[in-house]
Each structure stands twice: as structure tokens, then as C-alpha cells.
Structure 1
Amino acid sequence: MEWYYVGLGLLVLLMLFISIGLPIPFALAAASLPFLWEIQGWSTSVVSSELKLWGVWIDYILLAVPLFVFLGELIGKSNIGPNLYQFLHQGVRVRGSAAYGSIGASAGFGAVCGSSMVGALTIGGVALPEMLRLGYGKRLSSGVLAAGGTLSVLIPPSLILLFYGIVTDQSIGDLFIAGVVPGLILVSCFFLIVLVWGFLKPQDIPSRQDAAKMPLLMILMTIGPIALIGLVITVAIYAGIATPTEAAAVAALLTVILAFAVGGLTWQGFKQAIFATMRTMGYLGLLLSAGVLFGFVLTYHRVPQEFTEFFLSFDLSPTMVLMIVLVFYIVLGMFLEPVSMTFITLPTIYPLMAASGFDLIWFGVVFTVTMEIAVLTPPVGLNLYVIQAISKDDVSIADVIIGCLPFIASMVLLIALLIAFPDLALWLPEQMN
């Protein structure tokens, strides 16, 4: 069977199954099966599917995923995350401190948890009601928190960078460290947006906040856990002491101890964190398994390789190829969530980017920023609905979308900076190596 028949057939079937409401993992598997039967026959395909499913669940590298998710859930169910926001809000005695504190807390949370949605829910659940109570504008409050959650996707450890490394067979440690400088630039851009917003719409930022200062012991109990967990992950991976999976395991165990010792975690909260992790991994596990099956069919029929040769036959410049890919991802991000996009599209796209001469570590950072944009663009922007659900009586989905627009613009600016200055992503990994 010709590669283009397979590629178009997979795409049409996938869109058909998604449009009738089939969950994406099942849609991926269902689209793959007819072509798998054509390759292997019915009985062999069943065994092959079982092996692909089992292989994902026992993959050593993928064990880092539930560990990082569990770590984030523990912080969310304890007081560690909320206390971080309170410290940054109360400790910075400037106009707009709650907005700056939300960004700082999201960045700090991102340094220990790789999930955008968990980050938005944890910090937003505390910060949004407090910001609205203090008199911040609805659009600023919701926009800051929805966009702040995306910092967990870029600042390492990042689940999207982890999945990208698995699909493209790139060093996960290099990908993590490549996201550090762009992540700090994005945090700075978010701070600048709040500052400019305050000048343009002073009514959206109250001149005085009635927050009391935190005692020194509370400050130590707030900063200490986040700093220690982040340090363990960072040093273990970048110093070559442990693999990302081993670092995630040690950090998760440390988080359990700290969450109970200083974070006020209860046994009920601990059980909720376990069940939330199981629910998340139930979906991600099926998605990973179906993605592997989908990728196997693509690879068997050489769809990525043939597509790359076909695309390059148009003699487009590398910059034009990159622009087309970025626009494709931004549009697709309006309809699919980032993890699904990663496993559906990357097996075909990354060979094209490599053949066009782009560094795959650099492209991993650019890809991740486009995934940040995806969680903020309607109609399927996950962070939009997470933040709106926190205060649905006070904030409309339109408020969240409009509030996110300046932050989306800053992400587009970051992509432009990465294209103009690739060393923003590549310099630090080169120095570490």
C-alpha cells in the first residue's frame, strides 16, 4: 500500500472517530487497527497490540511520568503550593504583588512539577479568589493564572519535553536544561505584561493590598520544600548522578516526607493524590500505548520518511518549513490537547525538521512553547476551563480568553527570539556537556 494512502487513511479515520466523540486514545488505536491487520493479520495484530500496551507500562523511562504527576498532586493536596503563593504575595510589598506572586508561584511550582493543568489548578485555586477579593480585574487575574500554569510545561521538569524526548529519541536531560533560559525569559515577559497592564489599566490593580507579613518560620517552611525538591531534581539530572526516572523517584519520596512534615498533608489528601495520579495515568497510559501503535503503522509504511522527502521536494527554505510547522501546531492546538498532538504528529514532523537542518533539542523547546499556546487557545484550551471553573460565578470564559491574549503574544515573541537567537536554548546544554 502506498504511503500516502496510509497517511491519508489514518488521518481521515482519526478525525472521524474524534468527531463522533471517541476518546483520543481509542480513536488513535481504532484508526491504526485496519492498517495493522493489513500488515500482520487479525491474530498477530491482537498479540502485537497487547505487547505494545504492556511495553508502555513497563518502560523504564516512562516511569518518570507518573512520578512527576504524583509529585505535583502531593504539592497540590498539601499546603506547599498555596503557601508559596501567599509568601510571594505577602513578601513583595509592591503594587500588583498578588499578580507578580502568582507568576512567581507558578514558576516555582513548574520547577518541581511538569503538568500545566495541575499547576494552574494548584496555584489558581488559591490565588484567583484572593485576587478577586483584593480588587484585581477579572481579566488580569484569570489571564495571569491561566498563562502562569503554562510555565510548568517549559520550566523543567516538563512532561511535554519528556514525551518529546521519548518520541524523538533525544536526551531528556539536555531538553530539560534547554528549557531553563527560555523559561526565565518567559517569566520576565509575564512580569513586564503585568507592569504595563498596571499603567494602561490602573483600575485593574489595587494600589494597596491588606496582606499581613508572614513570620520567618512560615517563610522557611514555604521556601524550603520547593527549593529542596527542585534542587534534588536539578542536581541529580544535570550532574549525571541519576537518570530523570531515578531523580523523579527520589523527588517524589522526598515530597511525601515534606508534605506530611511541613505541608500539612493528611492521609485523606495523600489518598486523593494517589487516586488523582491513577486517573491521570489511566488516560496517559492508554494514550501512550495507542500512540506507539499509531507510530508503528506510520513507520512500517515509511510515512514520515516519504512525507519528508515529498515536502522537501518543493525546495522551501528551512525558515518557510518552520513557519508552516508552527502555524500548523498553533491551529491544531485549538482542537487537540498537547499530549495528544505530541504522539499524533511528532513521528511525522520531527524527521522533517531534522532534514531541514534544525537542531532537535532547539526544536523541542520551540515545540514546547507552541504547546503552551495550545492550552490557552479556544475551543479546547485546557487551562482556560480550569481557571474559569475555579470562580465560575465571577469570571466568564470570555474574561479568561481576553486576559490570556497578552501572554500568548509574549509566547509568540519568545518563539521569534528563539528563531533569531537559537543559543538561547542551546547555550546552556552545550556548557553542561
Structure 2
Amino acid sequence: MSVETVGIIGIAALFALMAFRTPVAFAMLLVGFFGTWILGGFRSSGAVLITETYGAVSNYSLVVVPMFILLGNIASAAGFSRSLYDAAYAWVGGFRGGLASASVIGCAAFSAVSGSSVATAVTIGKVALPEMKRLGYSASLSTGSIAAGGTLGFLIPPSTGFALYAVLTEESIGRLFMAGILPGILMMGLFMAAISIVTWLDPKAGPHGDHVRFLQKLKLLGKAAPLLAVMVLSIGGIYVGAFTPVEASGIGAALVILIALAMRALTLSAFYEALLDTVKTTAMLFTIVIGANVLNPFLAMTHIPETLGTALTTLGLGPYGSLAVIILAYVALGMFLDGLSMLVVTIPIVFPIIKAAGFDPIWFGVVAVIVIEMGMITPPVGLNVFVVKGVAEDVPMSAIFRGVMPFLMAMIIGLLLIIAFPQIALLIPNSMFG
């Protein structure tokens, strides 16, 4: 049996295990360990398991993951997410569909401290959905805006998606974080444009919100200022080179804790729950990284990435034709896998193809994250849709999926713009790092 055949069987086994609801981390561990055992012997597979596990968890760059998760959890527990939403609502809520736009802005702002799509959707959803229901917003627009806005947590730095991509590809976390800023702003603008179009076609879907006086707007913006300052300090500090992404994550988490304690906005029980949730999420992400690191040597032994690259070259599709095939594969996988699973399973396979085609790996990281974001709101998995359903239990799943369709179109437009104009993603990291 050829090594390629063993590789194909291994990949099929991987998807079969995930189809039977085996956690993706353990599915990768099993396939990587036993695949390496078959091709290289037990001693080789044992060595891979030990060295790759230690190498994964001792990676200094991964410290950003628990620190930024802690930052987001503390901000949520202290009620700072509410202040972000209230400030956004005060400034744009008076427009038609303004409350949905405020939800998107709130999601974008909270993404800059949480790095998690699910956490963003849940946190802003709990605050915004009752208000939109009170003002008579359609169920599809209100839930759709939260589900789509939550995906920004995977794109706007600090993104756990970028952190994992950096570890898997050995690219710079700092460059990837900076690359997500302009695409994140672009996507937020396109989401707000989608809301404007929906409410223009159906004014009853998103009526005007309550009028807020200018002084009240400033007051609410002032309440959100501490968390906004932490965001600017963390991300801005990385940009100007004042500190590394790891240092930025630690400083950001410490500042949010100190601010919450100074404002007496954090109880001991809430602090404990935030720490516990941080530990659980970090353990899950680190286990996924370990699984990916054990799987990667097996994939390298099977030569599958090189074989796929050669096959795409033989087809004569050219670099952008190969990119289109990869994106379509991502879209198909996104209908069945969650974002992190898709990232860790596919990057070791497609990344060599992307490099061989001459694409910038930082730019492709942004493209991959956006396509994965699309999978978060497409049926039948649509992780963010299920998350929002948990917050809005009285809204049918069909209404939520119907509500995300305009935002899905906006994401497609954003993706095409970033493919056509790579500088949208590369301008800031190139100006920062040269």
C-alpha cells in the first residue's frame, strides 16, 4: 500500500471520526498517531506524540490565547460589553435599522477584546436582542445581525483564529493581528450597508430607535472609554512596536481586571467564573493545537499536500484558479465543520499549495478566516446561528438563517474585494514591519 493511499485512508478516517462526534482534537491525535505508526513504526509515532505535544504547549506565542480570552471574559463579567453597546446605540440607534447597526458595532468593539466569535455573539446578543424585540424589529433582522456581527470575533484582532493560523504556519502573530484590522472594519461597514438595504426594502423590519441627546451620547461614550482605551493600547502598542502581542495580551488583561476592581464592577464569584471559563476554553484550544501538531508529521509522510499541489498545477488553473478551488472546498467544509476544526484540519494541507502559488501567507490567513466566518452562519452547522438560537429561544431556526442571508452576501462582497485588492489586508502589517 502506497503512502498516498494510507494518507487518503487517514483523512477519510479523520472525517469519519468527526462525523461520529469525536472531538476534533482527539480525532487528529488518533489519526496522526496511528498513521505515523503504520508508516514509520511505533517508536516513531511515540516520539512524535511526545515531542509535538511538548512543543505545542510550550509555544510562547500561544500565551496570547488565554490572556485575551481572560480579557474578554472579565470585560463581559464586569458589564463593560453593555457600555460598548449602549454607546453604539446612542450614536446610530436613531437611524432606521440603527439598533441592528449598533449591534454590529458593539460586536466589532467587543471582538477587539474577546477574540472569540461565539463569546461575541452571546455577549452582545443578550444585551441587544431584548431591545430590538421591544422596538418591534423583525426576528430575522435582529438575530441575523447578531449572528453575522459575532463572526467579527474571528477576524478583528485579537483573533484566536489568527493565533492558531500563526502557530500552524509559523507566521507572525503580530502581522496577522494587524492584517485583520482593515478587513474587519470593511466587513463591519458592509454589514451596516446590508442592514440599510434590508430596512429600505422593508421599513418595518428595523424602525427608528429612541432619540438620544448629544450630551447623553458623550456620557455613554465616556462610560465605554476605559474598555476602548484598553483596546487602543493593546492593538496600538503592537503596531508602534511598544510591546509584542504576548505582552499586549498580558497588559490588556491586567488593565481590564484593575479597571473592573476599581469600578467595583466585578464580584468574587464573577471573577472566579471568568477564570474558570478561561481555563476551559484555553484547554480546548491547546488540545486542538496538540492534535494538529501530531497530525502534521503524518500528513507530511504521506506527501498529500505536495500531490494536491501537483494535481492543481497539472489542471492548469493558474494561481487564482487554484485559490478558487480551495475557497470552494472551504465553503463546502464550512457547512459541516466548525471554524476552528476546519482551520486546523485544512491549513497543513492547503498552506504548501498557497505558498507554491506565490500568494502572501498573511493575506491568505485573512482570506481563510473570512471564508471560515462564512461557514459560521451557513446551514446546516452554522455555529453562530445555533448560539443566537440559544439566546433567542422563541425565534425559529429558519428565521435566523433567513436573516443572515443579506450578511452572507456582504461577506462574499468583502471577500472578493480583499482578493482583488490584497492591500486591504496587507497595508497595515507592511507599513508596520516593512
Q: TM-score, normalised by structure 1?
A: 0.94
Using the TM superposition, give the Cα deviation of residue 235 of structure 1 relative to its aligned residue in structure 2, in angstroms: 2.3
Tell me, in whole angstroms, the C-alpha distance in 1 between the residues paired with 2:296 and 2:140: 41
5 Å matches for 1:189-228? Answer: 189-209=190-210, 215=216, 219=220, 221-228=222-229
Q: Percent identity?
A: 34
| 1:24-72 per-position Cα deviation (integer Å, ceiling 9, x unaligned) | 1111111222222134533553453233223322210111111111111
1:370–1:263 Cα change, 3 Å: farther
The aligned counterpart of 2:38 is 38
Question: Would you say the 8 A contact 1:193–1:406 is kept in 2?
Answer: yes
Structure 1 counterpart of 2:424, which letter? L
> SS state of the match for residue 209, structure 1?
coil
Using the TM superposition, give the Cα deviation of residue 91 of structure 1 relative to its aligned residue in structure 2, in angstroms: 3.7
5 Å matches for 1:102-121? Answer: 102-121=103-122
Using the TM superposition, give the Cα deviation of residue 267 of structure 1 relative to its aligned residue in structure 2, in angstroms: 1.2
The aligned counterpart of 2:301 is 300
The aligned counterpart of 1:87 is 87
Structure 2 counterpart of 1:407, which letter? F
1:316–1:363 Cα change, 3 Å: same
Question: Would you say the 8 A contact 1:103–1:144 is kept in 2?
Answer: yes
Question: Would you say the 8 A contact 2:3–2:301 is kept in 1?
Answer: no
Using the TM superposition, give the Cα deviation of residue 190 of structure 1 relative to its aligned residue in structure 2, in angstroms: 1.1
Using the TM superposition, give the Cα deviation of residue 300 of structure 1 relative to its aligned residue in structure 2, in angstroms: 3.2
Tell me, in whole angstroms, the C-alpha distance in 2 between the residues paired with 1:263 and 1:413: 44
Tell me, in whole angstroms, the C-alpha distance in 2 between the residues paired with 1:308 and 1:13: 22
Using the TM superposition, give the Cα deviation of residue 420 of structure 1 relative to its aligned residue in structure 2, in angstroms: 1.6
The aligned counterpart of 1:339 is 340
The aligned counterpart of 1:269 is 270
Structure 2 counterpart of 1:60, which letter? Y
Question: Would you say the 8 A contact 1:117–1:149 is kept in 2?
Answer: yes
Tell me, in whole angstroms, the C-alpha distance in 2 between the residues paired with 1:27 and 1:268: 35
Tell me, in whole angstroms, the C-alpha distance in 1 between the residues paired with 2:404 and 2:110: 19
The aligned counterpart of 2:235 is 234
Deviates more, 1:260-269 or 1:158-167: 260-269
The aligned counterpart of 1:71 is 71
The aligned counterpart of 2:159 is 158
Tell me, in whole angstroms, the C-alpha distance in 1 between the residues paired with 2:317 and 2:197: 39
1:3–1:316 Cα change, 3 Å: farther
Tell me, in whole angstroms, the C-alpha distance in 2 between the residues paired with 1:417 and 1:155: 17
Question: Where in structure 2 are there 5+ consecutive unaligned residues?
Answer: none
Tell me, in whole angstroms, the C-alpha distance in 2 between the residues paired with 1:133 and 1:253: 37
Deviates more, 1:245-254 or 1:173-182: 173-182
The aligned counterpart of 2:61 is 61
Using the TM superposition, give the Cα deviation of residue 282 of structure 1 relative to its aligned residue in structure 2, in angstroms: 2.1
Structure 1 residue 131 and structure 2 residue 132: aligned?
yes
The aligned counterpart of 2:365 is 364
Tell me, in whole angstroms, the C-alpha distance in 2 between the residues paired with 1:218 and 1:268: 29
| 1:288-332 per-position Cα deviation (integer Å, ceiling 9, x unaligned) | 111110012112333323332233222222121111111100110
The aligned counterpart of 2:401 is 401
The aligned counterpart of 2:413 is 413
Question: Would you say the 8 A contact 1:90–1:97 is kept in 2?
Answer: no
Tell me, in whole angstroms, the C-alpha distance in 2 between the residues paired with 1:208 and 1:279: 38
Tell me, in whole angstroms, the C-alpha distance in 1 between the residues paired with 2:381 and 2:216: 42
> SS state of the match for residue 317, structure 2?
coil
Tell me, in whole angstroms, the C-alpha distance in 1 between the residues paired with 2:123 and 2:363: 30
Using the TM superposition, give the Cα deviation of residue 219 of structure 1 relative to its aligned residue in structure 2, in angstroms: 2.4
> SS state of the match for residue 37, structure 2?
helix
Using the TM superposition, give the Cα deviation of residue 7 of structure 1 relative to its aligned residue in structure 2, in angstroms: 2.3
1:66–1:231 Cα change, 3 Å: same
Tell me, in whole angstroms, the C-alpha distance in 1 between the residues paired with 2:6 and 2:365: 27
Q: TM-score, normalised by structure 2?
A: 0.94
Question: Where in structure 1 are there 5+ consecutive unaligned residues?
Answer: none
Tell me, in whole angstroms, the C-alpha distance in 1 between the residues paired with 2:253 and 2:352: 34
The aligned counterpart of 1:50 is 50
Tell me, in whole angstroms, the C-alpha distance in 2 between the residues paired with 1:224 and 1:208: 23
Deviates more, 1:221-230 or 1:128-137: 221-230
Structure 2 counterpart of 1:334, which letter? M
Tell me, in whole angstroms, the C-alpha distance in 1 between the residues paired with 2:235 and 2:21: 41
Tell me, in whole angstroms, the C-alpha distance in 2 between the residues paired with 1:214 and 1:207: 20
Using the TM superposition, give the Cα deviation of residue 81 of structure 1 relative to its aligned residue in structure 2, in angstroms: 0.3
Question: Would you say the 8 A contact 1:52–1:293 is kept in 2?
Answer: yes
The aligned counterpart of 1:251 is 252
Structure 1 residue 426 and structure 2 residue 426: aligned?
yes
> SS state of the match for residue 315, structure 2?
coil
1:208–1:381 Cα change, 3 Å: closer
Structure 1 counterpart of 2:186, which letter? I
Tell me, in whole angstroms, the C-alpha distance in 2 between the residues paired with 1:69 and 1:253: 12
1:306–1:95 Cα change, 3 Å: closer
| 1:326-379 per-position Cα deviation (integer Å, ceiling 9, x unaligned) | 110011011111111111110110110111121111111111110110111122
Question: Would you say the 8 A contact 1:77–1:265 is kept in 2?
Answer: yes
Structure 2 counterpart of 1:364, which letter? G
Tell me, in whole angstroms, the C-alpha distance in 2 between the residues paired with 1:302 and 1:208: 58
State how many pairs are aligned: 432
What do you get for the CA RMSD once the two structures are aligned? 2.0
Deviates more, 1:346-355 or 1:23-32: 23-32
| 1:114-163 per-position Cα deviation (integer Å, ceiling 9, x unaligned) | 11111111111111111111211100000000101111221112111121
The aligned counterpart of 1:146 is 147
5 Å matches for 1:10-29? Answer: 10-29=10-29
Structure 1 counterpart of 2:412, which letter? V
